[in-house]
């Protein structure tokens, strides 16, 4: 179960835990990188396939996004080694001796010579008891929990660093929106003067335009030049973005969507701009948004 107070987490992380438990040496390693969703890939040691479903559940319970590579290896030693005869290899050697006996004159090899041939004798691990195997499995799952804990801490440490960078970009967006809001070209008297001049140009270009048509054109020009709604939405997005970063947890997709909304408003601001300075503010805003989107791509 995830904690009530969550931290911002990156999708990039690494953790490794090793331990010697009764009957085996075990290593658990987890690597995590960016992904659109949760992609879990497992590499289990010999005899551990029975744990695969439980390992997947544990990973899915703690992680929301990321390409997860989890490797669990084991070296069993509780039963020691036993020497056994590889009957297939022995049969091959004996068949070869029979085939050669009629072709060359030579004494048949002694038993110790036959057994010394590579592959005839093998060292094999003795199987563990079921009780010992269950104990090993329980310890492996406990080690997995510890390894996931370390991975989460690793991802949160990277998430904290990304959170600072994202907050800087959000602050930059707010400052640029304030600069656009307070730009001198948006003062009422300058705004009205510009609209009046444009209406005058329309009247000169089309003297036959009716007063009603000129009024309609004036409204259109005023609407196209007004960026009040875009600025309101930008300030609202800034507030939402800060809340998401402060709240932590798996907010990467929401931040990415919000970055797209930021970009939409910045594009509109540029298209409505009626001064070089205001256009530059919009372009600076788009640059900050690109940096923001690059950083949020790694947030869980």
Q: Where are the domains of the chain?
A: 13-79+128-156, 81-125, 159-296
Distance separating alpha carbons of residues 96 and 244, to the nearest angstrom: 75
The 10s digit of each residue's pLDDT in 126-177 is 556 777 778 888 889 999 999 999 999 999 999 999 999 999 999 999 999 9
pLDDT at 82: 63
Torsions phi, psi for 92 (to 5 deg): -65, -40
Strands (E), the chain: 13-21, 24-33, 38-44, 66-76, 81-85, 121-125
Residue written as token pair 């960026």: 227
Question: Cα–Cα distances in Å, from 41 out to 45, 252, 279?
Answer: 14, 22, 48
In CATH, the architecture of 13-79+128-156 is: 2-Layer Sandwich (3.30)
Terminal CA-to-CA distance of the chain, rounded, Å? Answer: 17
Distances (CA, A) of 145 to 1, 12, 150, 204: 12, 18, 9, 78
The SS3 of residue 27 is: strand
- CA of residue 89 relative to chain centroid, distance: 50
Cα–Cα distance, 279 to 9 (Å, whole number): 35
* Three-class HEC string of 105-168: CCCCCCHHHHHCCECCEEEEECCCCHHHHHHHHHHHHHHHHHHHHHHHHHHHHHHHHHHHHHHH
pLDDT-derived band at 273 (thresholds 50, 70, 90) equals confident
13-79+128-156 matches 159-296 in fold: no
197, with CB counted inside 10 A (0-12, 13-18, 19+), is exposed
pTM higher than 0.75 for the full model? no
pLDDT at residue 2, rounded to an integer: 46
Q: Is the pLDDT of residue 1 over 50?
A: no
CATH code: domain 159-296 is 1.20.140
With beta carbons less than 8 A apart as the criterion, state whether 282 and 273 touch.
yes
Most confident residue range from 108-122, 173-187, 238-252 = 238-252
Whether pLDDT at 217 is above 50: no
pLDDT confidence of residue 141: 94
């Amino acid at each position: 179960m995830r904690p009530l107070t969550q931290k911002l987490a990156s999708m990039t992380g690494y953790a490794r835990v090793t331990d010697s438990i009764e009957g085996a040496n075990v290593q658990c390693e987890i690597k995590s990188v960016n992904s659109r969703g949760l992609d879990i890939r497992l590499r289990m040691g010999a005899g551990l396939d029975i744990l695969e479903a439980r390992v997947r559940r544990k990973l899915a319970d703690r992680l929301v996004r990321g390409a997860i590579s989890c490797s669990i290896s084991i070296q069993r030693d509780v039963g020691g080694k036993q020497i056994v005869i590889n009957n297939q290899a022995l049969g091959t050697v004996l068949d070869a001796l029979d085939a050669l006996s009629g072709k060359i004159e030579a004494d048949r090899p002694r038993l110790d010579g036959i057994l010394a041939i590579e592959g005839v004798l093998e060292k094999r691990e003795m199987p563990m008891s079921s009780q010992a195997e269950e104990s090993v499995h329980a310890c492996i799952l406990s080690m997995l929990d510890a390894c996931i804990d370390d991975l989460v801490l690793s991802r949160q440490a990277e998430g904290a660093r990304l959170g600072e960078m994202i907050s800087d970009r959000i602050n930059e967006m707010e400052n640029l929106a304030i600069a656009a809001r307070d730009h001198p070209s948006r003062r009422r008297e300058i705004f009205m003067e510009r609209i009046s001049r444009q209406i005058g140009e329309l009247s000169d270009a089309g003297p036959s335009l009716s007063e009603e048509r000129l009024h309609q054109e004036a409204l259109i020009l005023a609407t196209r030049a007004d960026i009040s709604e875009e600025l309101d939405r930008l300030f609202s997005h800034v507030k939402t973005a800060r809340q998401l970063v402060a709240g932590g947890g798996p907010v990467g997709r929401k931040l990415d969507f919000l970055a797209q909304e930021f970009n939409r408003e910045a594009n509109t601001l540029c298209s409505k701009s009626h001064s070089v300075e205001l256009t530059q503010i919009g372009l600076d805003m788009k640059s900050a948004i690109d940096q923001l989107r690059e950083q949020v791509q790694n947030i869980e």
